[in-house]
Every structure is written in structure tokens, then in C-alpha cells.
Amino acid sequence: MNYREVTTTGEYMARLETGADWREEIETLAADVDAEAGWFSALGSVEDAEIWFYDQDDKEYQSVTFDEPLEVAACVGNVSLLDGDLFAHTHAVLSRRNGQALAGHINAGTVFAGELYFRAFETPLTRERDEDTELDLWL
């Protein structure tokens, strides 16, 4: 296991904009507060969602789209640099009206309402291709 101690430079509460993209809003916040690395957790609701599942054998993402209103019951992830750009690696648990839960890597989703807690780190996190998993990982 690789780990590093990190130093927090600021803590932020954000309200994601109705109609914007869930993941892009997080990247916009990171850019606005000049953070190239950070950790976040969030909750809210979306009007739709594109969820990715990583195929561990084929080593590629597969996508499922839910074109329906969903609660965001939990959302967790981190901000790092990927190919020089800010990237919010974002996983989420969503739910339907009857309580059924859906989950995975959320690539996109239209914000209905979103509340986010973000910790910005001084310590840089840069993703690079990992040979074993063929994922872009930091450390």
C-alpha cells in the first residue's frame, strides 16, 4: 500500500448549481479555490445519471445511463491532476422513488440540488497509468 500524509489548505461548503453537471461542478470548485488535490463528500439529487462500471478483465469502462430523477444518497471522491487537468474521481449511490439503490462511478449527471463538503490539499496528487489495472492512479 502506498500512502502519504497530506496537508489541508482549506475547507469549503458548496451548493451545486441546478442544471449543471455534477462532476464538472466539483472540478469548477477545485479550480476556483486553486486546489489541484482534495477529498470530498456530497449528497443531493440529479435529474439523470451516467454510471460507469470498470470491467476488470477487459480493462475498460462500461456505461449505464439512468434517464430519471434520482436522489444522491452518498457521493465520495477526490480531486487530482490527470493529463494536466483537474479531475474529480467521483463515485455515488443513487436511489429511486421506491428506495431502490443504484451505484458506481458517476461520470455525468444533471444536478437538481447538491450539497458538497470539500477539503483542499496542498499535497499534489497526479494520476498516472497503472500497468496492473490499466487505470490512472495516483501515488
**Scanning residues 90 to 119, which ones bind its own copies (CB under 8 A)?**
91-105, 112-113, 115-118
When the beta carbons of 81 and 93 are compared against its own copies, the nearer one is 93
Q: Which residues of 33-51 are buried (b: 16+ CB within 10 A; e: fewer)?
A: eebbbbbbebbbbbeebbb
Is beta strand 126-129 parallel, antiparallel or unpaired with respect to 70-82?
parallel
**Scanning residues 12 to 41, which ones bind its own copies (CB under 8 A)?**
12-18, 20, 25, 28-29, 32-33, 39, 41
Q: Does 126 engage in binding with its own copies (CB under 8 A)? A: no
x/- contact string, 51-90, with its own copies (CB under 8 A)?
x-xxxxx----x-x-x--x-xxxxxxxx----------x-
* Closest separation in Å from C-beta 84 to its own copies: 20
Of residues 91, 58, 57, the one with CA closest to residue 74: 91
Q: Cα–Cα distance between 12 and 77 in angstroms, integer? A: 15
